[in-house]
Amino acid sequence: MCCDGCTPEAVSSLREIAGPVRVLDLPKARGYGYGNRNVAMEQAEGDVVAWLADDDLYLPDHLERIGEVHDAGDYEIVQGTACHVRVDGFVEAMGDDWSHPFISEQMREGGRAASTMSAISHRIETAQRVGGWNADMDAGADIDLWRRMAPVAAAVTLAAPTVLHLRGTGRGQSPAERIEQNRALFLRMDDPVELARLRAEMGHAMYRRFADHQQEGHHLKLEVEELRRRLEAEAADAEKLRQLRERLMPLLRARWMLRQRLSGRRG
């Protein structure tokens, strides 16, 4: 657990509840504490790191699922699937699938591929090989690191959502309200029936997103077909104009020659 400039009271409280988890008490680093994340990787005892921001939650089996993939040894990056929980409790799908060829190519070319940091796990050596976290950035160093890792690391995305993202633009929650929402989610995950319902909500959120993409794809297909019809109509009109021009040219030449003869007689 990496503390980025926490108060002594917070560090003490974390150590009381952390159990076997080591708590690193580090001074505040620039931006979102990217430099401290490099320290955490250097001091980690294993060869894989899974990131969890202080405003996100793992489902109980998240680490087990990504660990199974890493243990297989085929991938250097394992991307969990995340859902955003709004203030009103509504669950929405989020993030891009980095294992998709289009998204992977987009990242390699410098495009933005969204994902919450808490969904990403990777081999420490892979991140260090590309320079680790950019400690000089104030924001956006997660996307910067993923983009540098993408060309040199094989990635796979877990199909089942196992990460909850609890912060969004315009959230406007007080610390007390956020604590209450976290407590409510912990209680749900501790109850097998409620946990099953939460998984169903997350799965439904992924299905809604898939259905939305299908609908968007259908509308794009209709727009492409309409543009194709317009182009074909314009091409047909252009061909008609070409044929008309070919028919008129002899008449125009004859008219010009007749004018030339009449002009010569007058002269």
Averaged pLDDT for residues 169-183: 73
Q: Which domain holds residue 110?
A: 45-190
Task: Give the span between the Cα atoms of 229 and 227, in whole angstroms.
Answer: 5
pLDDT band of 262, cuts 50, 70, 90 = confident
CATH number of the CATH domain containing 71: 3.90.550.10
Q: What is the mean pLDDT of residues 101-106?
A: 75
178: in domain: yes
CB count, 10 Å around CB of 76? 20
**pLDDT at residue number 159:** 83
**pLDDT at 94 exceeding the cut of 70:** yes
* Tens of pLDDT, residues 231-250: 888 888 888 888 888 888 88
Q: Is residue 162 part of a domain?
A: yes
Q: Is residue 138 part of a domain?
A: yes
Does any domain span residue 250?
A: no
**Residue type present at position 171:** R
Q: Say whether pLDDT at 168 is over 80.
A: no
- Asked whether residue 253 is assigned to any structural domain, the reply reads no
* Cβ-Cβ contacts under 8 Å for 76 (sequence gap 6 or more): 122, 123, 126, 149, 153, 154, 155
The phi and psi torsions of 26 (rounded to 5 degrees) equal -115, 145
Q: Tell me which amino acid residue 230 is.
A: R
Answer yes or no: is 35 within a domain: no
Rounded CA-CA distance 23/14 in Å is 7
Structural domain tally of the chain? 1
Task: Tell me if 95 is assigned to some domain.
Answer: yes
Q: 207 lies in a domain?
A: no
169 pLDDT band, cuts 50/70/90, is very low
Q: How does DSSP classify residue 175?
A: H
Q: What is the pLDDT of residue 30?
A: 92
